[in-house]
Amino acid sequence: MIEEDPLRFWRMHDQMSVKNAAILMCGGDPSPYGNGADRLGFDAAFSALQQAVMRRDIEATLSYSDDTLGTWPSPSNGQDTTTPSGANTSQTKDREPDWDKTQLDVTSMKAWIRSKGIPDSFFVTSVKQERTLPYMDPSHPHFSPELAMAVETWCALAPNLELNTGTRKEIEAWLETNWKDEWLGPQTNNAMERISMVVNWNKKGGASSTPG
């Protein structure tokens, strides 16, 4: 029922404004009859999203006061990110976008939110909710500790577009810090290697680099 979850249709959006995204992050309702920007934390969320867009951490379709349009592509797609594609460099460089019209890519924003370790927002399933998935539930009769550890590691590191010291080393470093004895017992080299092999998406080795 819509009455039970009035925000459900916002989850269908592939793009949305910075203001609406900030409202939803704070648990508000962006609709005209909702509580909108009055929600506690709105200003901080709005500012964080603005900064992330300007740093190219979130893909967005930028709009300007003179109706100039451009996009911030993710560095991972190999495109030049020094200026929005489709925009005149002299017109857009160092200019503040029209934040009322600028549209965020929701998928990119979700990855950014997760990378910040804020899992309980409207856009990202909480760790507690994720644990209700069968393969993340330690009480499940077929629970696989190494699989669960691999999933948790991947979710923590995958949003990072660049891993400075090499993907395998970053995975191992994260595992050493976040190893769950209650799942796996004391760390062993063999277990660490098996989990790292599953998580590692850069089989060629070396640091992950931006294509292009």
- Give the tens place of pLDDT for each residue, 37-66: 777 889 999 999 999 999 999 999 999 877
Q: Tell me, what's the pLDDT at 70?
A: 60
Q: Is the pLDDT of residue 197 over 90?
A: yes
Domain check: are 102 and 18 in the same one? Answer: yes
> Domain end: 123, 148, 182, which one?
123
Residues 6+ away with beta carbon under 8 Å from 152: 136, 178
| Cβ atoms of 104 and 15 closer than 8 Å | yes
Residues 6+ away with beta carbon under 8 Å from 42: 22, 23, 26, 28, 36
> Into how many domains does the chain fold?
2
Q: Is the pTM of this model over 0.75?
A: no
Q: Is residue 206 part of a domain?
A: no
| Cβ atoms of 21 and 104 closer than 8 Å | yes
Domain check: are 140 and 96 in the same one? Answer: no
Q: Tell me, what's the pLDDT at 211?
A: 42
- Give the phi and the psi of residue 174 in degrees, each rounded to 5: -65, -40
Model confidence pLDDT, tens digit, residues 135-183:
888 888 999 999 999 998 888 887 665 655 678 888 998 899 889 899 9
Q: Is residue 156 part of a domain?
A: yes
Domain check: are 134 and 35 in the same one? Answer: no
Model confidence at 111, pLDDT cuts 50, 70, 90, reads: confident
Domain check: are 132 and 109 in the same one? Answer: no
Q: Is residue 7 part of a domain?
A: no
Domain check: are 78 and 139 in the same one? Answer: no
| Residues comprising the chain, all counted | 212
Give the CA count within 13 Å in the CB-facing half-sphere of 135: 7
Two tokens, residue 161: 């577009």
Give the CA count within 13 Å in the CB-facing half-sphere of 47: 4
> Domain end: 92, 108, 123, which one?
123
